Structure 1
Amino acid sequence: MGSKLFQVLSLLIVITLVGCNRITSERISYTILASSEVEALPFIVATEGAKSFFDWHIIVDNEGPLDMRLSKYRADFYITDFFSFYSLHEEEQEYFDQLAVVSTYTDAVLIIRKGLENIPLHQWRMGMSYGTISDYLLDYWFADEDIKRIQVRDESQGVELLKDGTLDGMVLSAPLAAEMTNSNMFVRYRSLLDDGVKMSVLIDSYRTTLNEERNSKIVHDYKQGLEILQQNISILEKFHITPEVALAMRKIDPHAPFFSQQLFHDLRYWRSIHVPYTPNWSYEKLIWLPQESLDFNDI
């Protein structure tokens, strides 16, 4: 009797240990809310390739208020481009205080008035909104050139000033840039996609305390997905990716997937940037990666 009881107890202990090991070996699951698949593509590919720390689930939905969508899908993260991030409605501004990680693409386009390329740069009147992508990219593309920067409230105001002749050029989102160039008054001058620069943010919807270990693993997963894509670019065929984006993805440095090193070093204001609606917001609220303190080889 004692022997049988011992065997039963031993079996229960083994089952319990196996169960515990199985639970601890399972990947933590995170849900990302996105406006399009392409924004979260490296996370999708990393999960499918079973090379990720986390199991990423992507929900594509851009209809309705952000807080309602996050609640509806119980999303852990929200991924969006810089333009949308800076244009969050007033009731959504609380998300500025949450974790953001630079990740994939937005096709920011610099348009200029036709014939402007024949005029000296110091006469160019360029619209920009201080501390936003339009400001960063003027630094990136023109460095210390003496162009005139005219402060605008946002993209919409910039478009109006372009139309009435107050501005000669401005960085716009791709759809607006296309509208302006179709008018035959403006031409496309530069594009982020041409440079392979990535400008999106991943926002933690739960205001989780910044955790370097977890952030390192997020970067690792993105990096793994990116490497898989670059080793087998045909994977993009099953996603509806434009040829321009597919070509740009080939050019990403897999060792610095979250930010263009050239852009990082060229930004004059990267240590303290003030953005619309939140005058005390600064770059410290973002996690620029890779950082020297993170060693991908140790992950």
Structure 2
Amino acid sequence: MPNIDGQLTVASFFSGAGLLDYSLMNELKIIWANEVTPAAAESYRANVGDHIHVGDINQIVSADIPYADIYVGCPPCQDYSSIGNNEGEEGERGSLIWTYFEHIKVNRPPVFLFENVIGLMRQHKVTFEKMLSMFKQSGYNVNWQILNACHYDTAQDRHRVFVVGVRKDLGFTFRFPGEILSISKTVYDAIGDLPPASGEIPNHLATWTSPSPERIKDVMMNPRKQFRGMRRLDWYRESPTLTAHIAKDGREFLHPSENRRLTVRECLRIMGTPDSYVFPDKVPLSHQYRAVGNGVAHNVGLALGKAIKEQLGQVTLQNSLF
């Protein structure tokens, strides 16, 4: 079974700032990654490793990707999101699911993991079913499931669809990890112990640029009918889904008791990401927020990484990954 230091290896696509890879590192060895945005890649490099390559995935030749036991890919979701472009596979970003598919089809890794917004399998059901069918025709046993981060000890109601394919010659179909059955984690559990947002803790600095205190008060006192509205988080409930839109305007995710948007650290905490993950100061604030909104909740990544490792570990030498 190919591995490095006894660990199964991973090639990561659409890696962003590495939030998913940061959780997978606990169980797996990430050896290669690709990201098109330099700022996101800078954050990845600082927290995950120097193995990230910056560039357009459409320009990468499959043969140049090193062998890995597992391919991990979270293609851009804007074209499948109800609050995004919603152009589906016809969109420039939406078509990237097929680029990921082609690399898998050519290199045939033992296992692949795919993640996206649930809009892909709801508003774009035809595309989703076509994708599943093509993976199966390419020689994979495929299983998919919608996972909600709040069922994995995370203070956020965050639904995402995950697809895992196992090469048919390995003789099994992936079983998704069970939910963590416990009392729901609240926003207070996640960020209640943080000190004032003065910057003493990395990525924990309050900014007033968007929205301003005046705008917060105005909109809350004078609600607009066709306005997504200010959304103050409740200390004792989970947060609604954090989205990349917070990079443009934080009005939808206000601190539970202060008149300001959440800090990046608070957003990371609500994703379940450990404080050991730190965005470099030189990475623009907008990129930091966007990276969090585009990420995978930490505990969901941990559970998936552990399940993949355990199930691949049961493959015998006679049914090896070669």
TM-score, normalized by the shorter chain, greater than 0.5: no
Name the TM-score, length of structure 2 as normaliser: 0.28
Give the number of the structure whose residues are more often strand, by fraction: 1
Name the TM-score, length of structure 1 as normaliser: 0.29
Structure number with the bigger relative contact order (C-alpha 8 A, sep ≥ 6) is: 1
Give the number of the structure whose residues are more often helix, by fraction: 1
